[in-house]
Chain A
Amino acid sequence: MTQLPATTDKKLGLVIDLDTCVGCHACVISCKEWNTGSYGAPLSDVDAYGANPVGTFLNRVHSFEAKQEGCPSQTIHFPKSCLHCDDAPCVTVCPTGASYKRSEDGIVLVNEDQCMGCGLCAWACPYGARELDAMAGVMKKCTLCVDRIYNENIPEEDRVPSCVRTCPAGARHFGDFADPESNVSKLVAERGGMDLMPELGTSPVNKYLPPRPKADVNGTQPPALEAQSTEITGFLGWLDRTLEKI
């Protein structure tokens, strides 16, 4: 059992726009390439060229179909990584103190030196956001690119998580939810940002923006154009009248 900090100064996290995410996996791979060469053990790939390639990823995109009776089916792309919960069950369940939530910014991390790879945290996380690395035997999870966002060796504008910097559609936003004036707080307010499974009481920091209503599913269609005429002779009449005005 490990304690959470009573409060955190900041609440850093992501807003993911489900209205804009096209499911391209850019964030998945950018995350993999940054994190396999930085914080903690590399993200290994077991049987990389074989029958059952299984690698460690800190961020994955799941695609779902949603179909309401009598309506066309919809496709939703759902990127998912650690939500850096305020009441993170993965931290409180950790027997060694390896899992912890940072008091200054709320990022949930694993101290790999103390991690014994028991996997309890992955069981406790209701979102499936943690993966035990098969080669290193330690728990891996989203670090919110803690080694990018404060990194003085990279340009200030790039001090965002790798997934945010790379997202081609601009569907991922990074910021401080403790600040009501931040970009992410405003987006959540304007677009009805949602918690993932709030009923579980984890108080996730990351938020999701819901898709806009679809015209073909739950929208209205504009009425047809009014015909000038249905006959070519009438059309030519319209043409003459209009040409006079040009």
Chain B
Amino acid sequence: MTKHHQPKLDTSPVVSDEIRRTTCYMCACRCGINVHMKDGKVKYIEGNKDHPVNKGVLCAKGSAGIMQHYSPSRLRNPMKRVGERGEGKFEDISWEEAFEIATGLLDPIRKNDPKKLAFFTGRDQSQSMTGWWAQNFGTLNYAAHGGFCSVNMAAGGIYTMGGAFWEFGAPDWDRAKLFMIFGVAEDHDSNPIKMGLGKLKANGAKIIGVNPIRSGYNAIADEWVGITPGTDGLFILSLIHELLKAGKVDLDYLIRYTNMPFLVNQVEGSAEYGLMVRDADDNQLVWDRATGKAVPYETKGAKPAMSGMVEVNGVQCRPAFEILAEKYLTDEYTPDAVAERVGISADRIRSIAAEIARVAFEEEITLDIPWTDWKGEKHEKMIGRPVAMHAMRGISAHSNGFQTARALHILQILIGSVEVPGGFRFKPPYPKSVEAHPKPHHTVTPGAPLNGPHLGYPRGPEDLCLDEDGKAKRIDKAFTWENPLSAHGLMHMVISNAHAGDPYKIDTLFMYMANMSWNSSMNTTKVMDMLKDKDEDGNYVIPNIIYSDAYSSEMVAFADLILPDTTYLERHDCISLLDRPICEADGLADSIRWPVVEPDRDVRGFQSVLIELGARLGLPGMVNEDGSAKFKDYADYMVNHERRPGVGPLAGWRGKDQDGKGRGEPNPEQIDRYIENGGFWVDHIEPSNAFYKPWNKGYQEWAVERGIFDKESPYVFTVYQEILQKFRLAAEGHGDIQPPERLREQVKMAMDPLPIWYEPFEQTLVDNEEYPVHALTQRPMAMYHSWGTQNAWLRQIHGTNPMFISGELWAEHGFNEGDWAVVTSTHGTITVPAVRMDALNGKTIWTWNAIGKRKGAWALSKDAPETKKGFLLNHLIHELLPARGDGQRWNNSDPVTGQAAWFDLRVNIKRVDAPADLQSSPDTAPQISPVGQGPKDIAYGKEWT
């Protein structure tokens, strides 16, 4: 027996030489990180405890940042293509040559026909800058990835209440007592949700998870509702039915803060049918029960009616609330009527509605904080209805997603739980009404900027981007009758439309950080074909492709010119209030990235490259009067660019005295102040201004001081959305701008001013007996899109992505462990490994997204599991719907916003033996790696141990 013996340990070793605090970019969450540097290398990354987003915690991706930063897949030099598109044969070139090639392509386009440049950025966190660049270039063809991500969520929220989930707002994690989470695929927004769930659990709140798949957040939910994909809207409307029927709605809230009492024109057949009735001064009206008169809704002391037909100026009209109640009280929405379709028993639906009502109205929270509303009325208390909700792509990536997102917001509004304690809270600069947002702009002038921002929120048919013949003006056909409110564009249609020359041919496709030849496109195999397709003369159908990425992704192989980006630790960035902010409900916040490590390759931050390119092209705003470059690089832009006088990309430490908050002239030392403060700036809101923000006088004044608005902009929630009705009236034959015949019925159906549910389009077009199964993807918490696979640590967690098959389907098809599945849609077939999962809606199969990789990409070996067993579901999903026999191309998107309907997919499955080579199919031919392959074995940190 060896005696107990303890060696002497050094339990206080020096951790690092220096801590540099910046912002993570391992996903879109944008947490604050402390990067520990030792001997010039990154030793350890931890969460920044002072940071408003993550308060010290960090997810697996964030901690694996070391492996991302030192990834062997990093591009090293600018490159030009020397082989065929898709092959991956490149020649290293200098930056000078890269700029010459780029300006050689872009300068003539700008002078002759700027729309021939299609500039689409992917998971770009600098859209206010890239959009500004595109606007000054003059092309109307610009957007980022929102169209194939979650625009339904964003647009549904903005059009209903002036903000949506995630960057727009968050549950009141500290006070909520009931939390419902719908269709969140474990990612957006990563750490705050996990922190919030932890708080809810600690406070004893109940969590209901509505998701076909019981993984991640749904695994810890107190109640799992394994809903059938695409039916969330129907489920929510049934809950609304139950609440209305029982009188469990907050009438006081609806009267004060929503347009529910507003009078709606009821003269059928009139050009104003369904629109709000207004007085001569354009005020929307309510019926005052006290005086028996129609009065402007803001009239102090008015007692608005919520029902009853009245006549105002000869027009029959009634309150919107009565229209809503009538619509949802019908038998169409009873739990019994919807149960089978949503896959939830009627009793469950009824009891969930009862639970919502009980917590909202019997567990009311009161904060003794006086506040004053915008009409000047003083309130002694803040009343909270502690039911909070959150949703993301699971409900929005369907062809009925816009109306489903609206239904969910309206459910929250009906119980009075938006912008109150315990409910859903906006994060400044939100809330902002539709009117506070830009409209889309589309007037292109050769050699001159576009006439305004590309993307916006149309107010009616007059804001569509159509030419005189009613044809789409944008290459992605955003803001057309097919998808009138496509506020984020339709990036998923760009390659397909450009290849088809529909609505026109383009010259150069310029993309950033979007793996569009692989996991970010539907119909991946065909998209690769489109990118490499040649015309009769042997020229590429899409003539030129410029691409910027930091890593050797699948898309790199298809570009003609590569502009290599830096890693997130090597760059400047601003997480700007002009863009996708990091604010919290209690404060305004923005942050920066700065080079905590200098690049050891000949690479440059893409935004700095764009600024130099802009200067070389002489774009307005990017050159001085003498033609010299206005900004040295992106950091210079971050400090000195002003969007409006005194308002720039960064809100903190503005002005000469460096104490300006939101407003103030540029401060040359601004970035130093951010670095000293840990890479971020935060400005907290007074408690009296922290709730009821759209209606809170104090909040509105503060928002003007901070530069969020230039004048106070209170508004009420547009539960009844007359903008939608305007499109519908056009479809019914009113007005000068009307949809083409083929789209009239779709517009009439989809643009309902109150939420509706309809069957996802794909299942109305395919034989549901032939394709009885729903197929979904989720993103795992430990991976972000395609990026994670090059990460030596993360790929050990998710190196393959089996097809998870419900226990019901597993038994029905006689699967056994080790079997594979042939999965077929109307569009294609894949053969992939199968795994049983019972915690799954019985009619559903699913897999992790973006784990499958093309051989040769990401510096992996050609026999890496990601390229063998790994696969993409994308091969089964077409960007166009199955043909309807009308000779038209119908895109596979939401008919309101154009959001890609990824989750409408219907398939059938068949059991097969595992193939002898264990290779999933389709098996795409390899690409040549411009960066070789990663090292065999690694032992990171060896020098410190």
Contact = CB atoms under 8 A, between A and B. Distances in A.
Contacts of B56: 165
B219 A235 contact: no
Given A77-B220, A152-B12, 7 more contacts: A32-B793, A37-B945, A41-B945, A51-B861, A225-B243, A225-B353, A239-B306
Given A26-B60, A33-B44, A48-B934, A222 B222 contact: no
Interface in A103-122: 103, 109, 111, 113
A230 B934 CA distance: 67
Contact of B782 (A29, A97, A230): A29
Given A50-B936, A147-B10, A166 B942 contact: no
B715 to A, nearest CB: 22
A65 B839 contact: yes
16 contacts: A23-B215, A23-B219, A37-B43, A37-B941, A45-B940, A46-B936, A49-B72, A49-B861, A51-B868, A152-B12, A216-B223, A222-B354, A225-B245, A225-B354, A227-B246, A239-B306
A189 interface: no
Nearest to B937: A46
Nearest to A241: B247
Nearest to A228: B247
Interface in B887-945: 933-942, 944-945
Interface stretch (B322-330, B640-648, B688-696, B703-711): B322-330
Given A25-B781, A49-B861, A166-B58, A151 B797 contact: no
A57 B771 CA distance: 43
A50 B198 contact: no
Interface string B242-257: 1111111001100100
B396 interface: no
B13 A151 contact: yes
Given A22-B217, A33-B44, A97 B807 contact: no
A73 interface: yes
A218 to B, nearest CB: 11
A25 B26 CA distance: 14
B357 A225 contact: yes
Contacts of B734: none
A238 B247 contact: yes
Given A135-B939, A166-B58, A40 B945 contact: yes
A182 interface: no
A166 B63 contact: yes
A150 B11 contact: yes
Count chain B CB atoms within 10 A of each CB in A5, A48, A76, A165 and give the residue with the most.
A48
A165 B248 CA distance: 43
Interface residues of A, number: 107
Interface string B1-45: 111111101111111000000000000000000000010000111
B796 interface: yes
A222 B358 contact: yes
Interface in A1-20: 1-5, 17, 19-20
B13 A26 contact: no
Nearest to B214: A75
Nearest to A102: B6
B945 to A, nearest CB: 5
A124 B157 CA distance: 57
Closest 4 pairs between A and B when the two form their complex, measured CB to CB: A49-B934, A37-B941, A73-B838, A168-B194
A49 B941 contact: no
A97 B796 contact: no
Given A1-B1, A45-B796, A65-B838, A166 B47 contact: yes
B798 to A, nearest CB: 9
Given A3-B1, A225-B246, A76 B944 contact: no
A175 interface: no
Contacts of B63: 26, 29-30, 32-33, 166
Given A75-B215, A214-B222, A25 B782 contact: yes
A29 B794 contact: yes
B796 A65 contact: no
Interface string A92-108: 00111100111100000
Contacts of B112: none
Contact of B350 (A25, A165, A225): A225
A2 B195 CA distance: 42
A222 to B, nearest CB: 5
A112 to B, nearest CB: 9
A219 B223 contact: yes
B597 interface: no
A214 B208 CA distance: 10
In this complex, the interface size class of chain B, counting residues with CB under 8 Å from chain A, is: 35 or more
B58 A30 contact: yes
Contacts of B10: 147
Contacts of B6: 100, 102-103
Given A3-B4, A22-B219, A28-B60, A33 B45 contact: yes
B246 A226 contact: yes
A198 interface: no
Interface in A131-159: 134-136, 146-147, 149-154, 157-158
A66 to B, nearest CB: 9
Contacts of B246: 225-228
A225 B938 contact: no
B307 A48 contact: no
A48 B935 contact: yes
B627 interface: no
A64 to B, nearest CB: 10
B354 A214 contact: no
Interface string A165-185: 111111100000000000000
B222 A169 contact: no
A80 to B, nearest CB: 14
B458 to A, nearest CB: 33
B226 A72 contact: yes
B864 interface: yes
Contact of B348 (A23, A221, A225): A221
A157 to B, nearest CB: 8
B218 interface: yes
Interface string B772-785: 00000000011000
Interface string B340-375: 000000011011011101100000000000000000
A128 B351 CA distance: 44
A23 B216 contact: yes
B64 interface: yes
Contacts of B222: 212, 214-215, 219
A25 B217 CA distance: 13
Contact of A240 (B226, B307, B796, B859): B307
Contact of B325 (A95, A153, A232): A232
Contacts of A67: 807, 838-839
Contacts of A75: 214-215, 218-219, 839
Interface in A197-246: 211-212, 214-216, 219, 221-230, 232, 235-236, 238-240, 242-243, 246
A151 B944 CA distance: 16
A17 B794 CA distance: 23
Given A168-B58, A214-B222, A222-B358, A38 B4 contact: no
Contacts of A236: 307, 322, 325
Contacts of B350: 223-225
